[in-house]
Amino acid sequence: MSRAGRIGGVALRQVLLLLGITVAVFVLLRVVPGDAVDVMASEGDITVAQEDLLRRMLGLDIGWPGQLLAWGSDALMGDLGTSLRYGQPVSDMVWAALPVTLGLAAAGLAIGLALGVALALLAMLRPGLAALVDALNVWSIVMPTFCVGLAGILVFSVWLGWLPSLGHGLVPAAIIGLDIGGQIAKPLMEDLRETAEARFVTALRSRGVRRGALVWRHLLPNSLTAVLPLAGLIVAGLVGGTLTMEVLFGLPGLGALLLDAILGRDYPVVQAAILVLSAAVIAANLATEAMQRALDPRVR
Amino acid sequence: MSGLLVRDLRVTLPGPVEAVRGLSLAVPPGSVVGLVGASGCGKSVSLLAIARLLPKRRGLVVSGEVLLDGRDLLALDEVAMRGVRGRRIGVVFQDPAAALDPLMTIGAQLDEALAANGAAPAGIAGRAQALLEEVGLQDTPRLRAAWPHELSGGQQQRVVIALALAGDPSLLLADEPTTALDPTVQAQVLRLLRDLVARRGMGLLLVSHDLPLVAGQASEVLVMHRGTVVDAGPPRAVLGTPRHPVSRAMVEAAQLARAPAPRAAPARLRVQALRIAYRRGTHVVNAVQGVEFEIAAGEALGLVGESGSGKSSIARAVAGLVAPLSGSIDLDGARPGDPRAWARRCQLVAQDPLGALNPRHTARRALEEPFRIHRLPDAEARIAAVLAEVGLDAALLGRYPTQLSGGQRQRLCIARALLLDPAVLVCDEPVTALDAALRRQVLELLAALCAQRGLALLMISHDFAAVRAICPRVVVLDAGVVIESGPAEEVMRAPRHARTAALVAALPPPLAALGNRRCTTHPSA
């Protein structure tokens, strides 16, 4: 198969995946009892007649296949619909929230990678630090990020009074970073230790190659290719962590938008937010694969 | 004095294991000294200890003196030692594929080695070119841009040698430099090493388990056993009048038996017009084309060829593990198809015994496996009988593969293959991973099993000497095609095809011939 053909095949698979996720979310949302009008009714006085009128206006009076058809044809034209609760175009709401989420995710990822790689390297050079890596690993696996987030609010805002608990991005990014760093430091450390015993490393030492070059040019790239398949885990942690932190710290990102939309049964907003998140996860997976190919000539 | 002088080297590995117990040797400039011994005798540990490359662990103790041009390397700190490695000592490793960073191009690794040894940035390209030419490689942009896995084993080892020479060392340490290579390539690499020693006036310490190989290269041979040198001297003296039982055993082990002349017998296994192909993406690679042979009961047939000649594909097809594209495999009228039924008639002993055993299963579990798979009774009694047959102590049954020696592991694999009482045994390079003494033992075992059980034995190897020891007839393969076949002695004495001649020429000379010259080269060299 040609290179273009292969890339085309991969792209087609991802588009189909995205389509499947969208339809599944669409159907699941509507199968769950209660819609946006029910939520509005529970919030204020609306007569049954007004409820029926609202449903007709919002297009909720037809069955889900009909709604899917209507939404799908609009979405294909680039129109993701209008928020059922706020009347704003969904794309505007998602566009406004996206930078917050991307910024938080990028900061969290950067902190996590730096922390994970630094700890793994240090622990390889100083075996005494392995206990710290192990502890952080267990911590990041068992501690839900929202618990850490709550503790972070308590310590930094309530006790220390350093920053307003809401709206500040540094603490949530650090918490996400801690989670990701803890998850990659241990496998990376173990692979670095194994690679350090590899024959080619002995060979490099036998040629008088300096330790710095050994670590940065040989050990780290070789170990990174070994732990790159863990990227799926990192992305999952990143998505979950970002959404949780946004809600907890009141950041107006996709997570906050999504939670509000789910509680209000604001279908178009939920669909759009999940569409964007799924696309981001798929893009991250493709990027990982591309990185693997770039790093390791044997898988090209 | 100049050159390498080792006095009373002792190495204790964490455990503690006394791996080297008082090794003394001298490698004057321009000379080749061979350090020979069975696996586990401490020869590789000695080499790494000389270059101070043993992994630093608690419990590692190295004592004695390693004098290089009068300076004691064991007294140097790590920084000073880094100046010695590469510039004074170069090391060549056993498995060249593992000795190169898989993620770096050949050119980048060369440049790095040159820079590490103080070459000026401006001169690196020229030096790299000179080095590649010196080891017999053409310096092309394509070679520089190549990744290690794209090179053949011989090319990889030449690159490793070029890297070891990057700092113009006065001493080269070579640890089994040709063991992982094909026989014809082996001869070429050995010749290259000898030429380099002569041209550069370097000292070469050649470490190997292969006594005939070392004897053909070295001016002095040291035989190592359990961490000490038990016999030493010029090859002629060590080979001709071995003083120590260990060197005597090594000399004997190197002299393999000759199989009897072939005799006519009705064929049991018939392979006809065999064609095997693999799909690589959209195109098809032909591995084997039109191969035919027959084996009678109680007969051993040798299938000889270099890597990539298609011999392992044939082994897998006969064992029923790959389906041939066309042609037939016929055993008393039965054909591979139902894998379970075929496995009762035909068993495979794979090349690497350690890789062929589940590391988490004990020897007992490995032997019980056939009985589980085929739901057969009387496992205990059958296992005991086969163990006796292959000469494996029943006390070892509780051990895991890594706790067994190489010879024990191969016996275990053979025992497992025999449990189902097969009519055909396919052995893929059964002795390649073993040292000389074990090789001889396993070959004798295979010959005995073949005769006693009336097995049709298909032995696959690149080593003519091993094949000749048990196979009256051989089939020689090249690029998936039979290029020659006939009685083993005849084929070896008068090969009709150039590739066969190259394989025969790559064999070490008979030991008797070594006694005549102080320093001999291989006939092909």
Side-chain-side CA neighbours of B337 within 13 Å: the count stands at 6
CB atoms within 10 A of CB A98: 16
Q: In which domain, by residue range, is B424 found?
A: 267-494
Using a CB-CB cut-off of 8 Å, the residues of chain A touching B93 are 199, 202-203
Task: Write the CATH number for A191.
Answer: 1.10.3720.10
Query: Do B303 and B242 share a domain, yes or no?
Result: no
Q: Chain B contact for A1, CB < 8 A?
A: yes
What pLDDT score does A1 carry? 52
- B221's CB contacts (< 8 A; 6+ apart) are B33, B34, B36, B211, B214, B215, B232, B233, B234, B235, B238, B239
What pLDDT score does B513 carry? 60
Peptide bond into A99 cis (omega under 30): no
Q: Closest Cα to residue B445, out of B462, B433, B435, B457?
A: B457
Using a CB-CB cut-off of 8 Å, the residues of chain B touching A206 are 51, 53, 85-86, 89-91, 164
Cβ-defined contact of A207 to B163 (cutoff 8 Å): yes
| CA–CA–CA angle A226, A227, A233 (5° rounding) | 145
Cβ-defined contact of B51 to A203 (cutoff 8 Å): no
What pLDDT score does B99 carry? 94
- By C-alpha distance, the chain A residue nearest B84 is A208
Helix (H, G, I), strand (E, B) or coil at B458: strand
Number of residues that this document lists for chain A: 300
H or E element, residue A275: helix A267-295
Q: Chain B contact for A227, CB < 8 A?
A: no
Q: Chain B contact for A298, CB < 8 A?
A: yes
Query: Do B189 and B323 share a domain, yes or no?
Result: no
Using a CB-CB cut-off of 8 Å, the residues of chain B touching A1 are 281-282
pLDDT digits (tens, 9 = 90+) for A24-49: 988 888 888 777 778 887 877 778 88
Sheet harboring B481-487: ordered strands across? B346-349, B424-428, B456-461, B300-304, B473-478, B481-487
Choose the closest CB to B53 out of A1, A205, A297: A205
What pLDDT score does B511 carry? 63
What pLDDT score does A195 carry? 93
Q: Is the residue at A162 inside a domain?
A: yes
Both structure tokens of A144: 């839900």
- By C-alpha distance, the chain A residue nearest B150 is A298
Query: Do B371 and B295 share a domain, yes or no?
Result: yes
Residue B321 CA to residue B335 CA, distance in Å, equals 12
What pLDDT score does A167 carry? 54
Q: Is the residue at A132 inside a domain?
A: yes
Ramachandran region, residue B78 (left: φ > 0; alpha: ψ -120 to 50; beta: rest): alpha
B53 vs chain A: nearest CA distance in angstroms?
7
Residue B68 CA to residue B80 CA, distance in Å, equals 13
Using a CB-CB cut-off of 8 Å, the residues of chain B touching A210 are 82, 116
Would strands B283-296 and B300-304 be described as parallel, antiparallel, or unpaired? unpaired
Q: Closest Cα to residue B261, out of B500, B489, B496, B491?
A: B489
Query: Do B448 and B346 share a domain, yes or no?
Result: yes
Q: Is the residue at B366 inside a domain?
A: yes
Q: Is the residue at A12 inside a domain?
A: no
Cβ-defined contact of B102 to A296 (cutoff 8 Å): yes
Owner of token pair 């709206």? A167
What pLDDT score does B446 carry? 93
Domains of chain B: total? 2
Helix (H, G, I), strand (E, B) or coil at B192: helix
Choose the closest CB to A205 out of B85, B147, B282: B85
Q: Chain B contact for A208, CB < 8 A?
A: yes
Cβ-defined contact of A207 to B85 (cutoff 8 Å): yes
Using a CB-CB cut-off of 8 Å, the residues of chain B touching A225 are 103
Q: Chain B contact for A193, CB < 8 A?
A: no
- Along the 525 residues of chain B, how does pLDDT read in single tens digits? 689 999 999 999 988 889 999 999 999 999 999 999 988 889 999 999 999 999 888 889 999 999 999 999 999 998 999 999 999 999 999 889 999 999 999 999 999 999 998 888 888 988 999 999 999 998 888 899 999 999 988 899 999 999 999 999 999 999 999 887 887 888 889 999 999 999 999 999 999 988 888 888 899 999 999 999 999 999 988 888 888 888 888 888 877 878 888 888 888 999 999 999 988 767 788 889 999 999 999 999 999 998 888 898 999 999 999 899 999 999 988 888 888 899 999 999 988 888 899 999 999 999 999 999 999 888 899 999 999 999 999 999 999 998 888 889 999 999 999 999 999 999 999 988 788 888 888 999 999 999 999 999 999 998 888 999 999 999 999 999 999 999 999 999 999 999 999 888 888 766 656 544 444 344 333
Query: Do B90 and B215 share a domain, yes or no?
Result: yes
Both structure tokens of B514: 């070594």
Residue B164 CA to residue B158 CA, distance in Å, equals 10
Residue A278 CA to residue B429 CA, distance in Å, equals 51
What pLDDT score does B53 carry? 93
Q: Is the residue at B297 inside a domain?
A: yes
Peptide bond into B472 cis (omega under 30): no
Give yes or no for a contact between A115 and A177, defined as CB atoms under 8 angstroms apart.
yes
- By C-alpha distance, the chain B residue nearest A203 is B99
Using a CB-CB cut-off of 8 Å, the residues of chain B touching A207 are 85-86, 90, 113, 116-117, 163-164, 166-167
Residue B156 CA to residue A267 CA, distance in Å, equals 61
Task: Write the CATH number for B455.
Answer: 3.40.50.300
A291 vs chain B: nearest CA distance in angstroms?
13
B435 vs chain A: nearest CA distance in angstroms?
21
Q: Is the residue at B96 inside a domain?
A: yes
Tell me the residue type at B131.
Answer: L
B8 DSSP assignment = E
Residue B395 CA to residue B302 CA, distance in Å, equals 34
A3 vs chain B: nearest CA distance in angstroms?
12
Q: Is the residue at A239 inside a domain?
A: yes
What pLDDT score does B510 carry? 66
Interface test with B, best of A200, A202, A210, A224 (most B CBs within 10 A): A200
A157 DSSP assignment = I
What pLDDT score does A38 carry? 81
Interface test with A, best of B45, B101, B147 (most A CBs within 10 A): B101
Q: Chain B contact for A13, CB < 8 A?
A: no
Residue A172 CA to residue B227 CA, distance in Å, equals 60
Side-chain-side CA neighbours of A157 within 13 Å: the count stands at 18
Interface test with A, best of B103, B105, B117, B282 (most A CBs within 10 A): B103
Using a CB-CB cut-off of 8 Å, the residues of chain B touching A205 are 53, 85
Q: Chain B contact for A293, CB < 8 A?
A: no
Query: Do B327 and B286 share a domain, yes or no?
Result: yes
Domains of chain A: total? 1
Q: Is the residue at B503 inside a domain?
A: no
Q: Is the residue at B152 inside a domain?
A: yes
Cβ-defined contact of A208 to B167 (cutoff 8 Å): yes
Residue B81 CA to residue B86 CA, distance in Å, equals 10
Given a cut of 50, the residues of chain A with pLDDT beneath it are: none
Q: Is the residue at A48 inside a domain?
A: no
B147 phi and psi angles, rounded to 5 deg: -90, 155
Give yes or no for a contact between A214 and A77, defined as CB atoms under 8 angstroms apart.
no
Give yes or no for a contact between B398 and B364, defined as CB atoms under 8 angstroms apart.
yes
Q: Is the residue at A54 inside a domain?
A: no
- By C-alpha distance, the chain B residue nearest A3 is B281
Using a CB-CB cut-off of 8 Å, the residues of chain B touching A226 are none
B177 vs chain A: nearest CA distance in angstroms?
13
B155 phi and psi angles, rounded to 5 deg: -65, -40
Give yes or no for a contact between B508 and B335, defined as CB atoms under 8 angstroms apart.
no
Query: Do B200 and B285 share a domain, yes or no?
Result: no
Give yes or no for a contact between B25 and B6, defined as CB atoms under 8 angstroms apart.
yes
Among B253, B284, B314, the domain-final residue is: B253
Query: Do B320 and B356 share a domain, yes or no?
Result: yes
H or E element, residue A67: helix A64-76
Choose the closest CB to A207 out of B103, B104, B116: B116
Strand partners, B6: B25, B66
Q: Would you call B339 exposed, middle or buried from its count of C-beta atoms within 10 A (0-12, 13-18, 19+)?
A: exposed
What pLDDT score does B171 carry? 96
Interface test with B, best of A195, A207, A227, A291 (most B CBs within 10 A): A207
Q: Closest Cα to residue B161, out of A213, A203, A201, A198?
A: A203
Q: In which domain, by residue range, is A281 found?
A: 96-299
What pLDDT score does B522 carry? 40
Using a CB-CB cut-off of 8 Å, the residues of chain B touching A296 are 102-103
What pLDDT score does B517 carry? 41
Q: Give the predicted TM-score (pTM) of the model.
A: 0.81
Give yes or no for a contact between B497 and B476, defined as CB atoms under 8 angstroms apart.
yes
Q: Is the residue at B505 inside a domain?
A: no
Element counts in chain A: helices (H) and strands (E): 14, 0
Q: Is the residue at B68 inside a domain?
A: no
A202 vs chain B: nearest CA distance in angstroms?
7
Q: Is the residue at B2 inside a domain?
A: no
Give yes or no for a contact between B37 and B223, defined as CB atoms under 8 angstroms apart.
yes
Query: Do B295 and B194 share a domain, yes or no?
Result: no
- By C-alpha distance, the chain A residue nearest B94 is A199
Cβ-defined contact of B82 to A208 (cutoff 8 Å): yes
Choose the closest CB to B98 out of A1, A200, A297: A200
